Structure 1
Amino acid sequence: MVLANLFSLTIDDELQLALVDESFAPIYCQLVSTQQAYLSQWLAWPPYCQSEQDFRLFIQRSLNDYAEGKSLTCAIIYQGNIVGNCSFNSIDHDLKRVAIGYWLSQDFTQRGIMTRVVNKLIEIAFTKYQMEKVELSAAVDNLPSRAVAERCGMTLEGVISNSEKIGERILDHAIYAIHKQTP
């Protein structure tokens, strides 16, 4: 599948990022509908994104926030197919800090995809956006996401208790960060 896009970035020969586009809504909808239980373990939004229209609205908001410099949301494309999503959930220009978020289809885990994506996001934050700090927040028990942060050279800065409610569970979050190296 070839995706025409305003912004795309090649990570390597099998992986690229593409700025979200409304044409992705049916793909996201189909992907998330088959991954509902898996994604809902660690993410609050899957039960509320049930239709293509839900994803169109998400994409429109994301593009508006991108245009305003508040966030960056991209599809993760592996071997030509959308397999997940990654973002700077927030871009704080005053504090020179971004917060990374992501999700990946269960069918594509354990291939090093997310580690490569997060490494690229860190590079973009420090070079293109001139940020000084990149943060990643993961539920304390979400060991795969915590491992991604650690593989990308991030350091555990602390744990925030009662940080998020997922379904009926209240989760604590481990906060990881990496700082720009000054020469």
Structure 2
Amino acid sequence: MFTLKVDNELNLALIEPSFAPKYFDIVSRQRAYLSQWLAWPPHADSEVFFHSFITKSLLDYAEGKSMVCGMIYQGELVGNISFNSINQNLKTAEIGYWLNEDFQGKGIITRCVSKLIDMAFNELGLNKIQISAAVDNQPSRAVCERLGMTLEGIITSSENLNGRIIDHAIYGLIKDNHQ
């Protein structure tokens, strides 16, 4: 398994087929919680859903289009973080993530996003990172603000989130402005 150390209790692991049962277990128990801000949980009705996601993610990774990782906290797979898209032409990437509700409040997302930002700027040669969060998703927006990202704007009617039309807050960080 390819892993990237974040700190003494946290690693990122390139997504792999063995994650499918654990992802399905988390989503089966926390579907309502995850569906507040993510469109896909209502459709994640079997391990097959996650096997398909993993296969596509690994193909996109091989083509340099994205990078999807599991977040491993104290040895346990607790969520997912990714460069949802990598645009080499523009030297940009968009980060997305989700976390098992039982592990909220431990700084896991902030630490993992920080690691991906460092990787993007120092290893991938990118110049900008972007995160799109639902306007009302205060925990996600707080991650962006803690990491010094700039609110670039609000996109109205940006997503149909399981029948609810929501606006997105777009945060960006330029390499030259990163400490």
Same fold (TM over 0.5): yes
Out of 150, 175, 181, the residue aligned to residue 170 of structure 2 is 175
Distance verdict in 2 for CA 1:131–1:50, change over 3 Å: same
Q: State the Cα distance separating 1:167 from its structure 2 match.
A: 1.5
Find runs of 4+ consecutive structure 1 residues off by over 2 angstroms: none
Structure 2: how far apart are the matches of 1:114 and 1:156? Answer: 18
Tell me the CA shift for residue 106 of structure 1. Answer: 0.5
TM-superposed CA distance for 1:45, in Å, is: 0.3
Aligned residues: 178
In the superposition, the TM-score normalised over structure 1's length comes to 0.95
RMSD: 1.1
- Give the structure-2-normalised TM-score: 0.98
For residues 104-119 of structure 1, what are the structure 2 equivalents within 5 Å? 104-119=99-114
Question: 1:64 Cα deviation (Å)?
Answer: 0.2
* 1:141-182 residue CA offsets vs partner (Å, 9 max, x unmatched): 000000000111101000000101111210000000100028
| One of 1, 8, 11 as aligned partner of 2:3 | 8
Q: Which residue number in structure 2 is paired with residue 19 of structure 1?
A: 14
Q: Deviations over 1:103-138 (max 9, x none)?
A: 001100011110001100100110111000000000
- Unmatched segments (≥5 aa) in structure 2: none
C-alpha distance in 2, partners of 1:53/1:110? Answer: 30
1:99 aligns with 2:98: no
Name structure 1 gaps, 5 residues minimum.
Answer: none
Q: Distance in 1 between matches of 2:27 and 2:122?
A: 32
Aligned counterparts of 2:119 and 2:64: Cα–Cα separation in 1: 14
1:89-113 Cα shifts (integer Å, max 9, x gaps) = 0000000000000000110001111
Partner residue in 2 for 1:150: 145
The answer as to 2:82 corresponding to 1:87 is yes
